Chains A and B, each alone.
Chain A
Amino acid sequence: MTETLATATTHAARAHARAQSGIVTDGMPTVPASAWPAAPTGRAASLVWAETVPGGRYTSKVLARGTRLRLRDIHGAACANLLLFRADAPHERLNVADTLKVPWQAYLGTGHPLLSDQGRVLATIVADTSGRHDALCGTTHLAGNTAKYGAGELHSEAPAGRELFTVAAAKHDLAPRDLPPSLSFFHGVRVEDDGTLTSTGSAGPDTYVELILHLPVIVLLANTAHPLDPAEDFPTSTLEILAWRAPADLDSLPATDPEYRRAVLNTEDAWAAAASGMEN
């Protein structure tokens, strides 16, 4: 009752609002990122993104070339659905078909390039302690989550990935027609000989993947249960995101396949061409 009265005037309402500052939850950004209390060794000063995303929520950020992005499944039931767009040319974006076909590999792991539709590498997976990822099933949709969980709307208890991506994309002036199939981390899928898709689930708590970014990108992340998640309740737990400046990592890439080397060459070629004349 007292609190209700405390917002009866502008001054009281302002004081009431300001008194909320400093609350800490398990799903929020840390700003500035350098204030994150558990930075990787030696990386605190170069952190550019520190955020925890609750299950059923999304986030996005524009990151520079040479940024290293770590996604961590804190409790073992996060599912990080990812889309990447080239920030300086958002019509160039993640192409899942090329991402699997070009490296001759259906399963994501260390050394796997995330390719754009223009024969360039947007990011390379440079670390992976999970090994349970998927590039085949994309993310969930409203109709599917409604059938499975009884709800799938943005503000429901079981938000569908498609709904989350739609809003995340809109914040970068991207529309649903800009949303191609996505990747997901921390929930594995395997293909049987007859094509059957089998969920292999999570690798457990405290696993992570790290990406090095070869170009400036818009990162869209939706943390929501995998389409083949067998759990009948919506299980998704918190995802931790950290990113830091690591441009030297582009000089020590983990893959040597000829297709990958050409993807890196194409990327460096485009980056150098676009940057020439701007550096003088």
Chain B
Amino acid sequence: MTATLDSTDLALVSGRVLLDEVVGVRGPWSTVVAAGDVLTIVDLHGNQAVDTLVYDAHDHTARYSAAATVAGQGNLFLTTGSVLRDADGGPLMTLVADEVGIHDTVGGACSQESNTLRYGHHTKHQHACVENFLIEGAKWGLGKRDLVSNINFFMNVPVEADGTLGIVDGLSAPGKRLAIRAERDVLVLVSNCPQINNPCNGFDPTPVRMIVTRPREA
């Protein structure tokens, strides 16, 4: 079981392990990743959307921009080689390894408010990613103004020829991983998606594992 494997074996980029934490079901999480360090995210049980925002650790006004990221690479999906950019085009992190192949840039976070549109008003008081971003972001002085369209690691959102898009069954599987390297000191803000109305986590939110490594000098 990947939850019990040693972090040095699980990290996609080997090095000294600085952090090894499990993000619980439905929970928020954040950490600062120093420039050059690598965050490996492990989809422990498969098809668990990991809603992720990235900020410059020293200037939170510089934050992940889905638009600048996809325009910069000319492709809507994230995979190995994708550079996560801020709105001014500056690199924040780079995807250096990916065992899935496609990660979403379009869907954003679920919220209590948008859930009422998507599924009906009965979902108003279900857990949602924006709640996680707000409560975890508050620890760092981040507020509603600081939330922008986020990455959904392990989430699959195809776009049909006529523009129809939607969250469909994921391409991930238990134990699949990805790794992102910090290009500068960054704050990574995560919501382990609690959505139960669509296949973004197989209708069954599960934990994910976060491992930060510092690659050894070559």
Contacts and interface: CB of A to CB of B under 8 A. Distances in A.
Interface in A235-279: 259, 262-263, 266
Interface size class of A (residues with CB under 8 A): 35 or more
Given A195-B76, A195-B77, A266-B116, A107 B163 contact: yes
Contacts of A259: 117-118
Nearest to B121: A262
B89 A137 contact: no
Interface centre among A95, A175, A194 (most CB of B within 10 A): A95
Nearest to A108: B163
Contacts of B61: 175-177
Contacts of A143: 88-90
Nearest to A145: B89
A98 B107 CA distance: 7
A187 B166 CA distance: 23
A263 B32 CA distance: 37
B121 A196 contact: no
A262 B88 CA distance: 35
A111 interface: no
Given A137-B70, A177-B145, A181-B67, A118 B89 contact: no
Interface string B153-165: 0000011001111
Given A259-B118, A266-B116, A97 B107 contact: yes
B113 A117 contact: yes
A162 B121 CA distance: 36
Interface centre among B89, B144, B164 (most CB of A within 10 A): B89
B115 to A, nearest CB: 8
Interface in B141-191: 144-150, 158-159, 162-167
Interface centre among A101, A104, A182, A227 (most CB of B within 10 A): A101
Contact of A137 (B67, B130, B159, B165): B67
B87 interface: yes
Nearest to B120: A262
Interface string A215-245: 0000000000001100000000000000000
Contacts of A61: none
B132 to A, nearest CB: 15
* Majority SS at the chain A contact face: loop
A64 interface: no
B176 to A, nearest CB: 19
B109 to A, nearest CB: 7
A136 B106 contact: yes
A120 B112 CA distance: 12
A119 interface: yes
Interface in B114-137: 114-118, 120-121, 130
A91 to B, nearest CB: 6
Nearest to B73: A197
B33 interface: no
B182 to A, nearest CB: 19
A144 B117 contact: no
B65 A177 contact: no
Contacts of B26: none
Contact of B111 (A117, A177, A194, A263): A117
B71 A228 contact: yes
Given A101-B108, A144-B89, A191 B76 contact: yes
14 contacts: A95-B114, A101-B166, A102-B118, A106-B106, A106-B163, A117-B130, A119-B117, A136-B71, A143-B89, A176-B61, A177-B145, A177-B146, A179-B87, A263-B117
Interface of B: 60-61, 63, 65-68, 70-72, 74-77, 87-90, 102, 106-109, 111-118, 120-121, 130, 144-150, 158-159, 162-167
